[in-house]
Amino acid sequence: MATHEALRLAEEKGLDLVEISPRAFPPVCRIMDYGKYKYEQAKQKQKARKHASTVEIKEIKFRPKTEGHDMDFKVKHVRRFVEAGNKVRLVVVFRGREITHPQTGQSMLNRVIEAVTDIASVEANANMEGRRMLMVIAPKPGVVRKAQEAKKAAAAAAATAAQAARKDPSRPHEPLPEEDDDDLDEDDINADIDEDEE
């Protein structure tokens, strides 16, 4: 169809003549509502972005001399971040002459990896950047889904227990669970390590 004829036909219908394939011979065009087409494309992109998951990189800092309790506390949070689907950057901060013994930092990172080897794998091996030794770990496939299923099961069990307690008031009340520090963020967890100290 000639171009002027196609334009006339599009005007009669109140639509636009849109070139689909300009390199074809002859060029391929379509009569359509271009504004509606652009709107639908934008909605599809927005929907795709909504369903896409974003992966954050959380950072947990250690010292070469981090002791048992602090180590357990930080490993617990590393596990929480990995189960939430985030990557975790493990950082060992050296101060003063500690930098002359990088093997202590490497052994610290190895202890952390051993503690989370069931749910995480090493994405970037340990390397030195100035006075910091860095390593990145990422969740293994399926870990996030399993953690979400376990949370749903725990929530369902808690709801069932609460419902049973409402039905039978003579039953003794179970003690409330202790306050958990699961809502701590990276800054709170890393508060004990100040990189500016020398």
pLDDT of 198? 45
Per-residue tokens: 172: 């003794």
Q: Is the peptide bond before 26 cis (omega within 30 degrees of 0)?
A: yes
pLDDT of 189? 76
Q: Which amino acid is at 32?
A: M
Contact of 146 with 106, CB cutoff 8 Å: no
pTM above 0.75, yes or no: no
Q: Give residue limits of the domains in the chain.
A: 3-51, 57-142+183-189
pLDDT of 21? 84
d(CA 183, CA 179): 10
Helix H or strand E segment including 95: none
pLDDT of 92? 92
Q: From first to last of its 198 residues, what are the pLDDT tens digits of the chain? A: 788 888 888 889 888 888 888 888 888 888 889 889 899 999 998 888 877 666 778 899 999 888 888 889 999 999 888 888 888 999 999 998 888 988 998 998 999 999 988 888 898 898 888 889 999 999 888 777 777 777 788 888 888 887 777 776 665 555 555 545 666 667 777 776 766 554
pLDDT of 172? 56
Fold (CATH) for 57-142+183-189: Translation Initiation Factor IF3 (3.30.110)
Fold (CATH) for 3-51: Ubiquitin-like (UB roll) (3.10.20)
Q: 67 — phi, psi (to 5°)?
A: -85, 175
pLDDT of 84? 82
